Chains A and B, each alone.
Chain A
Amino acid sequence: MEQQLTQLEQEVLTKIAEAADLKALNEVRVAYLGKKGPITDLLKGMGKLSAEERPKMGALVNTVRENVTAQLEQKVALLEEAAILAQLENESIDVTLPGAQVRIGNRHPLTRVVEEIEDLFVGMGYEIAEGPEVERDYYNFEALNLPKGHPARDMQDTFYITEELLLRTHTSPVQARTMEAKKGEHIRIICPGKVFRRDADDATHSHQFMQIEGLVIGENIRMSDLKGTLDVLAKKMFGAEREIRLRPSFFPFTEPSVEVDVSCHKCGGEGCNVCKKTGWIEILGAGMVHPNVLEMAGYDSKKVSGFAFGIGAERIAMLKYGVDDIRHFYTNDTRFLSQFHQAEV
């Protein structure tokens, strides 16, 4: 019987070794270890053995069964691993193929510039004020110290709708309206919006463009506050290393008035094509709010003062992104628009 058992063990181990897959292996298990298998049969036949031999034989059968079971499990593990490997091999893909398309749109570069400036100023305690594109002559000119017949009206060639109505030539009327509405309260606003001038469209002119103006009114607002604020703006838009300089200029609604240059972001001030070899680029106009403008809106120009500035979104975008033709902003060519996916960090 012992010999029979050893032979059986050899036979099972051979079958286990030969089993090529889990199914075959399972068949081996059922055939040899199942209720009707030869090992069970052997155990059943132990009744015929002597009392002496029975425990000895029982232990032997159990050892064989344990060995066979262990071998079987080991083989199962091996086969399972092989099966997984085969499956993985089978499932292997070309990872360099393109991913499924996710359409990502993006903001227009002008909106991008406007929002960047809005966010900067909101962070400094400003609100965003907006107003109509169709304006009354009063808010666009008269309330800004540009009475009818004022020579400086020529600076802004205007689309009139009637004698009293026009397409705003700047977003300054929003300032005038805000001042009127605030009735003497302190003001900190930024005014973005579309504006219009009678210019034929070409590479550097557009009859419609986007302007962003700022206005601060309060007690003791000084020119140094204007300079500091514009320095923050220039550094945000063109880089922390930028410097600004002010040059005297003229606008009817500010006194003193300045034009503001920023040190060239391309050459760092050395002089290049972008800055026309001067190291400086003119980016905006600004000044201290003219007392007539304050008085017309009901502010006491003896008690409060203020500053204002105006900047062209197209000009900033053209400088920042190196755009060479202002018409790109209005033709909406997707080959142009899609270049502005990358987020501003």
Chain B
Amino acid sequence: MLVSLKWLSQYVDVDSLTANELAEKITRAGIEVDAVIDRSQGMTNVVVGHVVSKEKHPEADKLNVCQVDVGEEELQQIVCGAPNVDAGQKVIVARPGAKLPGGIKIKKAKLRGQESNGMICSLQELGIEGRLVPKAYAEGIYVLPADSVPGADVLALFGLDDTVLELGLTPNRSDAMSMLGVAYDVAAILGQDVKLPEITYAAASEKATDLLKLRVENIEANPMYAAKVVKNIEVKDSPLWLQNYLMAAGVRPLNNVVDITNYVLMEYGQPLHAFDYDRLETGEIVTRLAKDGETMTTLDDQERKLASHNLVITNGLEAEAIAGVMGGEKSEVTDATKTVVIESAYFNPGSVRRTSKEIGLRSDSSARFEKGVDPNRVLVAAERAAQLLAELANGEVLEGTVLVDELDKTPVRIVVSPDFINGRLGMKISLEEMLDILARLKFDVEAANGVLVIDAPTRRGDIKIPEDIVEEIARMYGYDEIPMSLPAGDQPGKLTAYQAGRRIVRNVMEGAGLYQAVTYSLTSSANAQKFALKEETTTKLLMPMSEDRSTLRQSLIPHLVESASYNVARQADTVALYEVGSVFFGQTAEGTPVEEEHLALVLTGKWIDNSWQGEKKNVDFFVAKGMIEAVFAKLGLTNHVTYAKAVVDGLHPGRTAEILLDGEKIGVLAQLHPQEQKAMDVKETYVAELNLHAILKAAKEELIYSVVPRFPVMTRDIALELDRAVPAGEIVAIINNAGTKLLKDVKVFDVYEGEKMAEGKKSVAFSLKYFDPERTLTDEEVVAAHNKVLKALAEAGAEVR
């Protein structure tokens, strides 16, 4: 909403404040002023000129040399390139030394040899937006009314010596979508009364109801419809003051009839529509719901297809307007219009909202109807338009109003106690102060039996419940006056075990040297199921903004790999990222997907890089695995986790492990498939993903101290010759199973594949630790225990080297 202070000051006196002071007060009281706009934009020295003569420029086809009277004795010669300049016109002249918006300075000049003392201007050159300039002057200079006085200041003439406040309105304050609505709030802030327009005109003796019949078929959609009929009007340009107000409010002037409807819309917030009575043809208005598939052509020359929930205004035969949204071409007011019907109505807000959304047409009218207009202004606005048509279009207003009115206009009654208000605010505002504020807001209020009985004015449709009164009192009293306290009562605050566990996992990842990444939950449908730990259906958006963000992801890996690729493309030596985020699988009975929190990582490039000491190592499978093992170790799950070779699309078939927690698959760890690496423009890249939810929910072993060995540990090594395909993990399992309780630890300490081994064989060496916390073991005991292990290995076909 654009509020011209010149216009506003018709209703409330704001002269005692600067525009910025006023804006600050309005903002602090609840309506945010987004911008304070100086309409003059620093313009100076722009005056009315009278083009006394015009001659073609001797040297240039498109230029004219004009002699212009600017209110001084001597005529000024000005060269003008506008196609519509002509002798006899009153025009806008920027004189030498003038400043125009955009920092333009006007100087004396010679144009192709002809002296030019200034510039004849278009409205755009005065800083008025092109879309607001009357169509007749959109492509050239503006021609002023013939009675304009040469030499007069143009700024005042166009009301550009004005400031406009741009309001950023919240949806509840539709009352401020009108000049009067803003005036009420400003008056309350400043403690003034609002000067309402005086509506008087001489009505003709002929009755409106004699000319126009009215029928409303659907009272729910259209509970009130008022029409005024005005005869013998003269369609022409509006006076400048009216055009100026409209341009200040961001509305393009058209002709006096349309301008008047727009003026009243802006003044009262009540949208009006003007029909050409003769072009209605039937002398009748019927409002009804449209028939399915019914069509009509709207003012913007588009054929609209309607449905049975759209309210239309008809002439009894066919649709003439879509109620509250847009009029029809057929009954549009033209220069030839003689008799107009002014419609002022209350249309059901939900109905208008739905229709305007369906049609994709938001207008100044629909924006107000869909929030609900003030029921008590429907008639007043119609009368105001009638008055202006009489004054500005020489119309004859017919007696009375054609009316159907079943609209409830009773104000909302709210009963609230001062204690409740103070209790909600944590304040001690006196009853007198509350009554004063409510009186300033022009709310009807009575204090009786310790409560306030308030009838909220219907223009304030947002005031419905006691809490609304709390807000009104607080915003007028001043939010700065609210004291500060903290909620009473203590209670322990804590993280859940899950939340604490997640932080531990983050710490492990960061301790391992990874940066936390955050990527998008939405991905392309092609990426959505890639690397997913489960095969489930995906969740797709109804109307995605792009295919790349159309589907919810089922794995964190694709976006992490994209991030790695992004960094590699920017010369990163090492990329080491992890992410904790949700993935989305299948569908529950509620229709929602199952959301699982996962942990994933991506590693590529150098890992150890102490170059001056000659130590270098690139990331590999086992660097990544070490990080995963660290997570399990921190969570006390090491003994529950196993790794098994697996094959997953997009991952290196020889370097992929699935991760099992108590035998259940909960993750994957792998090198990206070389083709995948090539496609993503990365070198050797390792990824892992774990179902964090499953890990954190898994029962953890109790942490109980075990005795620190006081007696010597006996170590025995075994080197085995194994088939290359036999996983070391399997042998460790065999050893662990065979070892007695004296066997406390098994470690792989060497793996050798090479020339010294037979084809397809490898050597793996294990180190076994035996001890008893209570005593020193004898050699015989260790040999006995170790022999069991050797026997089990022999049975399994593992050959000791």
Contacts and interface: CB of A to CB of B under 8 A. Distances in A.
B171 A151 contact: yes
Nearest to A132: B595
A191 B728 CA distance: 46
A231 interface: yes
B486 interface: yes
Given A123-B493, A305-B424, A334-B575, A220 B488 contact: yes
Nearest to A254: B467
Given A245-B479, A250-B173, A337 B485 contact: no
Contact of A208 (B521, B563, B593, B610): B521
A155 B169 CA distance: 12
Contact of A107 (B486, B516, B613): B516
A248 B475 contact: yes
Nearest to A190: B493
A222 interface: yes
28 contacts: A102-B513, A105-B515, A106-B510, A106-B515, A106-B516, A108-B518, A111-B506, A115-B503, A122-B494, A133-B521, A134-B552, A149-B353, A151-B371, A200-B545, A207-B549, A222-B424, A224-B484, A224-B485, A227-B482, A227-B483, A248-B29, A248-B475, A249-B30, A250-B172, A291-B467, A331-B563, A331-B566, A337-B516
Interface stretch (B270-278, B534-542, B632-640): B534-542
B486 A248 contact: no
Interface residues of A, number: 87
A335 B516 contact: no
Interface stretch (B221-229, B308-316, B576-584, B750-758): B576-584
Interface stretch (A15-23, A82-90, A159-167): A159-167
B516 A108 contact: yes
A345 interface: no
A121 B493 contact: yes
Interface string A126-156: 1110101111100000000000010110110
Interface in A241-263: 245-250, 255-259
B170 interface: yes
Contact of A290 (B423, B467, B609): B467
A134 B539 contact: yes
B354 interface: yes
Interface centre among B518, B522, B543 (most CB of A within 10 A): B518
A188 B494 CA distance: 11
Contacts, number: 246
A208 B515 CA distance: 20
Contacts of A338: 515
B592 A334 contact: no
A208 B509 CA distance: 24
B293 interface: no
B520 interface: yes
B466 to A, nearest CB: 8
Interface in B405-427: 423-427
B368 to A, nearest CB: 11
Contact of A258 (B479, B520, B609): B479
Given A97-B612, A155-B171, A291-B467, A224 B519 contact: no
A287 to B, nearest CB: 9
A255 B493 contact: no
Contacts of A200: 545
Given A100-B613, A125-B490, A134-B592, A334 B474 contact: no
Nearest to A260: B479
A321 interface: no
A333 interface: yes
A218 interface: yes
B487 A225 contact: yes
Contact of A288 (B467, B494, B519, B612): B467
Contacts of A122: 493-495
B572 interface: yes
Contacts of B353: 149, 151
Interface of B: 27-30, 32, 170-173, 349-350, 353-354, 370-371, 423-427, 465, 467-468, 470-471, 474-475, 479-480, 482-496, 499, 503, 506, 509-522, 539-545, 549, 552, 563, 566-567, 570, 572, 575-578, 581-582, 584, 590-593, 595, 607-610, 612-613, 615
B617 to A, nearest CB: 11
Given A128-B495, A337-B517, A232 B486 contact: yes
A160 B490 CA distance: 40
Given A106-B510, A229-B486, A256 B541 contact: no
A105 B509 contact: yes
A164 B590 CA distance: 10
Contacts of A134: 539, 552, 584, 592-593, 595
Nearest to A331: B566
Contacts of A281: none
Contacts of B516: 105-108, 111, 337
Contacts of A210: 518
Interface in A312-345: 329-335, 337-338
A256 B468 CA distance: 7
B485 A100 contact: no
Contacts of A194: 521, 581-582
A103 B576 contact: yes
A298 interface: no
A136 B170 CA distance: 25
A255 B467 contact: yes
B522 A101 contact: no
A105 B172 contact: no
Contacts of B513: 102-105
Given A133-B521, A210-B518, A248-B29, 10 more contacts: A104-B513, A105-B511, A151-B353, A194-B581, A198-B545, A224-B482, A225-B486, A256-B475, A331-B566, A334-B567
Contacts of B506: 107, 111
A127 B493 contact: yes
A143 B28 CA distance: 30
A124 B493 contact: yes
A223 interface: yes
Contacts of A128: 495-496, 499
B438 to A, nearest CB: 15
A227 B513 CA distance: 41
Given A108-B516, A194-B521, A333-B567, A149 B493 contact: no
A196 interface: yes
A210 to B, nearest CB: 8
